[in-house]
Chains A and B, each alone.
Chain A
Amino acid sequence: MKFTLNWLREYIDTDLEPARIADHLTMLGLEVDACVPCYPDLTGVVVARIEAVSPHPNADKLVLCDVNVGQERTRVVCGAPNARAGLVTALALPGAVLPGGFTIKPAKIRGEESCGMLCSAKELGITEDQTGIMELAADLQPGQPISQALGLVDTMIEVDLTPNRPDCASVLGIAREVGGVIGKRIKPPVAAPPTLAGENLPFSVEVESGADCPRYAARLIKNVKIGPSPWWLQQRLLAVGMRPISNIVDITNFVMLEYGQPLHAFDFNKLAGGRIVVRRARSGESLVTLDGTAHQLDSEMLMICDAEKPVAVAGIMGGANSEVDAATTDILLESACFAAIGIRRTGGRLNMSTEASYRFERGVDPQGAPKAMERAVQLTVALGGGEIVAGGVDYCEGVVAPAPITLRGSRTRALLGMDLTLEQIGAALTSIEIDAARIDDDTLRVNPPSFRVDLEREIDLIEEVARIVGYNLLPTTLPMVPMSFSEQDPLRELRKKVAQTLTALGFYEAINYSFVTPQHCDLLGLAAEDLRRQSVHLLNPLAEDQSVLRTTLLPGLLENLRRNVNHQNHDVRLFEIGKVFHPVESSQPHEPFRLAAIISGRRNPGAPVLYTGESPADIFDVKGVVAQIVESLRLSGAITCETCVVGQELPFAEPGSVLAVRGGTQILGWCGAFNQKTLKGFGVKQQAFFLDLDLAALGGVAPQAKNFASLPKFPFAKWDMALIVPVGVAAGEMLSAIHGCGEKCIEKAEIFDVFQGKNIEGGKKSVAISITYRALDRTLDDETVGKIHQKIIEMMIFRFNGQLREA
């Protein structure tokens, strides 16, 4: 809602600075979005009368004007087509700075002295009119500053209205709120509208349903002269960003802004049968509205019709078939109140939103119609001539008087936490024209005013009291509540812990949108029957590439990787913990949390190259990350990371470079290398490794209990062996064999070297293993350890078809 300070001051007597008014409004809940001067600084621009015009000796298109600027005469060269003797216009004197930043100086134009510049409205930043120099009223005093003469000193204030305050979609409504602050009442232009006699009218109004249309007032004005509005009216509309059209249309707009009551003017002679029928549209009916759009109507939509056809969409927009135009002589003015719910429905169906529908959707004062009608009639007669046809229609059968509300002082005090007397409460309400009468020591009876359609309950009034008292004057306390322990969500704790581990391992956290492009599934090469292809679709996505909810986190990270590489960041470790979405028949989707991470580039991003070198990450980096997550969650015993075959689930992985993360028989996820096709698809030009885990399933695995074991009292002995085995033998199995051989003294077995090539027969490899032996009850001597070690070597040679490598 936009208005200007001068406009406001027509209804409320205040000399508050614009900034103070803006501040008051904001603190009343009418948040001010803008408070700016309406017009540029026009110092040095004055009213001037052209006394005589003579031709320019050296230019056909220019004239020399003898200009009266009050005390003196001056000569100005002018090229405007409308420069003529007797014209009162605007003159920018030397020294004036025009809105564009142009400074006026005395000059010689084609050899002739020119002392200033006659200006168009556009050159002065007043309107867009640039057809010629300004044409001002003949009675303006030459020499007077133009700002003063035209009232060009004003401030535009824009309020961001909340949906509950349609009463403030009017300058009078805003003035009422300001009045509450400064302790003054508003002076509306129409105090009490006349009662309208409904007999012997040359037109009729029928309203089908008082529920759809609680009130409908109509009056006829004949022999109106359609023409432009006077400057003061245009100025008001221009200042709030509305285009002046003609006196009649401008009046309806002006009164709507003034009273908050939308009005409509029909060309009476275009109404068949001189009848207005307010009814629902019939099936098959259609209407072309003023904006030129054709609409198919249905029985849910309320229409204003004549004897034959719809002529307006009620409360939203008039029809082209009854539009007031230059030839109009008789107008039928409508000032009505339509039910909010119906306007919302119709506006939604027709996808139309207008200044009128904005107000009706939120609720218009049902008692406002006659006042706005009277105001519009007075203005029409004053500005457009015309004769009012005596009497008129004021249908008001649908108007329901608001029910009185009981307001308790005790309740108000308890909810606001402030000690207010009943008198203070009553005074707060009365200050904004809400009548409150005392019933007993604790109770007020409040009759909500008709313009405050939002006041229906006691709580609505308590809010009004808080608003008027001022939120910042209410006390500030801390609640007295019983102590209680709040349960922790284990999944949330798990997410935090995993995130902590990953950041400690050099990963940055990524957050990607939940909605993605459906093409991700193709880029990953997912099979047609893959569950991840079944996604939740948005009905109204912003774009096709944000049209489905993600079923995997990997594409987002791949896109992040591409972005980083494209910006010359080649060493990337990113993870994301977030929901994926799987549709569930006729219900909310399943939203499990997953953990995904990506590693690409150098193994040690961020660490000095000096020490770590440029060695690129490989699959063992991502496998190590899985191991560390598992270890940090104390799940080492329960979760394994096993070689797996690239099956249908992992079409994006490089065969032979994938590991399945298992908890018992359940697969919790995978880690491995992306294949080249996938990387290419996502525009990533370097190798990348992933891990993708079901976080909820990970949380479902029971961690190892923390049980203390006494520290060993006796030293260990570490013995090595190097075995030459066929290359196909898995090192992991060799370790398992050692651990599983039943020897109690084995504390640890570790691979410390795997070697192929020089001095090793083809098809074989050397695996060096170091075994730590320790007994809990004694120091193991060399002889004992030697015997066990020898036994293990023999067992390994036998099991893995190996031989001992000589040192």
Chain B
Amino acid sequence: MPSMHEELLRLKAAAGEELAAITQLGELEPFRVKYLGRKGEFTLVLRQLGQAPPEDRPRLGQLANEIKQELESAYASRESLLAEAGGGAAQAALDLTLPGRALPFGKLHPVTQVMDSVCSIFEGLGFAVAEGPDVEVDFYNFEALNIPPHHPARAMHDTFYISDSLLLRTHTSPMQARIMEKERPPLRMIAPGKVYRCDSDITHTPMFHQVEGFLVDRHISFADLKGVLSVFITRMFAENTPIRFRPSFFPFTEPSAEVDIGCVICGGKGCRVCKHTGWLEILGAGMIDPEVFKKVGYDPEEYSGFAFGLGIERIAMLKYGITDIRLFYENDLRFLSQF
């Protein structure tokens, strides 16, 4: 067993050496605990003082105290030195160009993102959301919307049939009839969902997404239709987006309109996307046809309203500059991660 004197000197040397090697403020505290703390090594040595021969005790006690004070002052100066350096040398050791420890995160499909923004604009205007069945009965998809069998307008819908009376809905408009049949005005609804047409090329997929909307009350006019859809377009695109309404035909609305916005690709100068017209069609709309009201038992003299429908993929393609609609359904992460 070494003598207490030797032990104290060894501690002094070891502690001094260790302190000199410390380059970061954070390493100081463990050092203090190890040597100078309540359970530190000096304390332990001092506790053994009682076992030393009585004649040696004062000398050893003094030596221990000197070493301790010496170490404490060395410690304090080391601490101020490191603090002063402001981490200069110490921080250089941290390479902050290394990447952050990010947690993984994914994204919603661009169709969902656009669908959500469309819905939230109309929800902000007080429209409720309703969803209907994808497999629809012929009656709601066509007849309730004033499209009897053999009507030429059926040729505009390349329909997938399940049976004589069942089909994959070709638009989300059947919800108009389903809701009006159940409820009374005032009504403000949108119906988002998947729709299906047997058509497939660079601008058509056999499944795509639509949002149908309608508003019915007393004294609703075509001017109101223009107002609501203009609000939608300025929110969806930009405040100063040029908008035009032009006559069109849908069997379940009259007057019917198609709504164009100034081409977002060429700014209206004319390009391939807008077929050199400077305009892009983004919405179909119109005043709900009196025949549709009659079929659900509303008096067309008392109530009027408008309906509209828009294709989500088309809006996503225009907003994001996507050129091939089929990309939406390949679910390639290189595509999905872009939005």
B9-17, B45-53, B66-74, B130-138: which lies at the interface: B130-138
B331 touching A511, Cβ below 8 Å: yes
A163 touching B153, Cβ below 8 Å: yes
Most interface-central of B161, B168, B222 (chain A CB within 10 A):
B222
Contact pick for A463, options B116, B126, B155, B254, CB 8 Å: B254
Contact pick for B194, options A348, A514, A567, A572, CB 8 Å: A514
B283 vs chain A, min Cβ distance (A): 13
Number of interface residues of B (CB under 8 A): 87
A60 vs chain B, min Cβ distance (A): 50
For residue B99, which residues in chain A have a CB less than 8 angstroms away from its CB?
608, 610
B108 touching A509, Cβ below 8 Å: yes
B133 touching A588, Cβ below 8 Å: yes
B331 touching A510, Cβ below 8 Å: yes
The answer, yes or no, to whether B231 is at the interface (CB within 8 Å) is: yes
A417 touching B221, Cβ below 8 Å: yes
A459 touching B289, Cβ below 8 Å: yes
Most interface-central of A463, A467, A569, A610 (chain B CB within 10 A):
A463
A511 touching B109, Cβ below 8 Å: yes
What secondary structure prevails in chain B residues at the interface with A?
mixed
Residue of B nearest to A418 (CB): B223
B137 vs chain A, min Cβ distance (A): 7
Residue-wise, chain A 514-530 has the 8 Å CB interface mask toward B (1 for contact) of: 11000000000000000
* A window 625-650: CB within 8 A of B: none
Known contacts A486-B129, A549-B135, A563-B330: A540-B161 contact under CB 8 Å: yes
A476 touching B227, Cβ below 8 Å: yes
B98 vs chain A, min Cβ distance (A): 7
* B window 195-243: CB within 8 A of A: 196, 198, 200, 205-207, 215, 217, 219-224, 226-228, 230-231
Complex: how many Å from CA A590 to CA B123? Answer: 28
Known contacts A418-B223, A509-B109, A588-B166: A463-B333 contact under CB 8 Å: no
B290 touching A459, Cβ below 8 Å: yes
The answer, yes or no, to whether A131 is at the interface (CB within 8 Å) is: no
Known contacts A165-B249, A344-B152, A511-B109: A486-B226 contact under CB 8 Å: no
Complex: how many Å from CA A539 to CA B131? Answer: 25
Contact pick for A486, options B106, B127, B151, CB 8 Å: B127
B209 vs chain A, min Cβ distance (A): 8
Complex: how many Å from CA A162 to CA B334? Answer: 40
Residue of A nearest to B260 (CB): A26
The answer, yes or no, to whether B171 is at the interface (CB within 8 Å) is: no
Complex: how many Å from CA A165 to CA B277? Answer: 23
For residue A542, which residues in chain B have a CB less than 8 angstroms away from its CB?
198, 200, 206
The answer, yes or no, to whether A579 is at the interface (CB within 8 Å) is: yes
Residue of A nearest to B163 (CB): A539
Complex: how many Å from CA A563 to CA B334? Answer: 11
Complex: how many Å from CA A605 to CA B102? Answer: 10
A567 vs chain B, min Cβ distance (A): 6
* A window 31-77: CB within 8 A of B: 31, 33
For residue A418, which residues in chain B have a CB less than 8 angstroms away from its CB?
222-223
Complex: how many Å from CA A104 to CA B330? Answer: 51
Residue of A nearest to B337 (CB): A508
Contact pick for B188, options A341, A486, A489, A537, CB 8 Å: A486
B75 vs chain A, min Cβ distance (A): 32
For residue A345, which residues in chain B have a CB less than 8 angstroms away from its CB?
150
A699 vs chain B, min Cβ distance (A): 14
Contact pick for A538, options B109, B168, B254, B287, CB 8 Å: B168
B112 touching A487, Cβ below 8 Å: no
A31 touching B248, Cβ below 8 Å: yes
B230 touching A606, Cβ below 8 Å: no
B237 vs chain A, min Cβ distance (A): 16
Complex: how many Å from CA A549 to CA B136? Answer: 13
Known contacts A28-B247, A31-B246, A362-B152: A573-B106 contact under CB 8 Å: yes
Complex: how many Å from CA A492 to CA B255? Answer: 33
B112 touching A509, Cβ below 8 Å: yes
For residue A162, which residues in chain B have a CB less than 8 angstroms away from its CB?
248-249
The answer, yes or no, to whether A574 is at the interface (CB within 8 Å) is: yes
Contact pick for A466, options B103, B123, B247, CB 8 Å: B247
B255 touching A511, Cβ below 8 Å: no
A479 touching B227, Cβ below 8 Å: yes
A498 vs chain B, min Cβ distance (A): 12
Contact pick for B226, options A31, A474, A492, CB 8 Å: A474
The answer, yes or no, to whether B256 is at the interface (CB within 8 Å) is: yes
B196 vs chain A, min Cβ distance (A): 7
A478 touching B228, Cβ below 8 Å: yes
For residue A564, which residues in chain B have a CB less than 8 angstroms away from its CB?
331-333
Complex: how many Å from CA A148 to CA B9? Answer: 118
Most interface-central of B127, B231, B255, B328 (chain A CB within 10 A):
B255
The answer, yes or no, to whether B39 is at the interface (CB within 8 Å) is: no
Residue of B nearest to A547 (CB): B160
Complex: how many Å from CA A217 to CA B158? Answer: 36
Complex: how many Å from CA A348 to CA B231? Answer: 43
Known contacts A415-B287, A569-B334, A588-B135: A479-B102 contact under CB 8 Å: no
The answer, yes or no, to whether A416 is at the interface (CB within 8 Å) is: yes
For residue A510, which residues in chain B have a CB less than 8 angstroms away from its CB?
109, 331, 336
A467 touching B247, Cβ below 8 Å: yes
Residue-wise, chain A 454-473 has the 8 Å CB interface mask toward B (1 for contact) of: 00010110110011000110
B131 touching A481, Cβ below 8 Å: no
The answer, yes or no, to whether B101 is at the interface (CB within 8 Å) is: yes
Known contacts A511-B331, A513-B207: A476-B230 contact under CB 8 Å: yes
Residue of A nearest to B217 (CB): A481
Known contacts A503-B107, A539-B163, A607-B104: A511-B328 contact under CB 8 Å: yes
The answer, yes or no, to whether A536 is at the interface (CB within 8 Å) is: yes
B152 touching A163, Cβ below 8 Å: yes
A508 touching B186, Cβ below 8 Å: no
The answer, yes or no, to whether B261 is at the interface (CB within 8 Å) is: no
The answer, yes or no, to whether B81 is at the interface (CB within 8 Å) is: no
For residue B200, which residues in chain A have a CB less than 8 angstroms away from its CB?
542
Residue-wise, chain A 329-352 has the 8 Å CB interface mask toward B (1 for contact) of: 000000000000100110010000
Residue of B nearest to A543 (CB): B200
Residue-wise, chain B 297-311 has the 8 Å CB interface mask toward A (1 for contact) of: 000000010000000
Complex: how many Å from CA A17 to CA B304? Answer: 40
* A window 553-606: CB within 8 A of B: 560, 563-564, 567, 569, 572-575, 579, 581, 588-589, 591, 604-606
Complex: how many Å from CA A27 to CA B15? Answer: 92
The answer, yes or no, to whether B162 is at the interface (CB within 8 Å) is: yes
A417 touching B223, Cβ below 8 Å: yes
A538 touching B135, Cβ below 8 Å: no
Complex: how many Å from CA A478 to CA B153? Answer: 31
* A window 488-511: CB within 8 A of B: 488-489, 492, 496, 499, 502-511
For residue B21, which residues in chain A have a CB less than 8 angstroms away from its CB?
none
The answer, yes or no, to whether A103 is at the interface (CB within 8 Å) is: no
B134 touching A591, Cβ below 8 Å: yes
Contact pick for B131, options A489, A506, A512, A610, CB 8 Å: A489
B320 vs chain A, min Cβ distance (A): 15
A72 vs chain B, min Cβ distance (A): 42
Residue of A nearest to B98 (CB): A610
Given A476-B226, A510-B331, 13 more contacts at CB 8 Å? A31-B258, A33-B275, A345-B150, A463-B247, A474-B222, A479-B220, A499-B112, A506-B105, A513-B206, A514-B194, A536-B135, A574-B333, A610-B98
Q: Which positions in B face A, CB cutoff 8 Å?
A: 98-109, 111-112, 116, 123, 126-131, 133-137, 150-153, 155-156, 160-163, 166, 168, 186, 188, 194, 196, 198, 200, 205-207, 215, 217, 219-224, 226-228, 230-231, 244-249, 254-258, 275, 277, 287, 289-290, 304, 328-334, 336-337
A-B contact pairs, 15 of them (CB 8 A): A459-B287, A459-B290, A463-B255, A478-B227, A482-B186, A484-B188, A486-B127, A486-B129, A486-B188, A499-B108, A504-B106, A538-B160, A542-B198, A567-B334, A581-B135
Give me the 10 closest cross-chain CB pairs, A-B, nearest first.
A417-B223, A29-B247, A506-B104, A417-B221, A486-B128, A162-B249, A163-B152, A463-B255, A510-B331, A479-B224
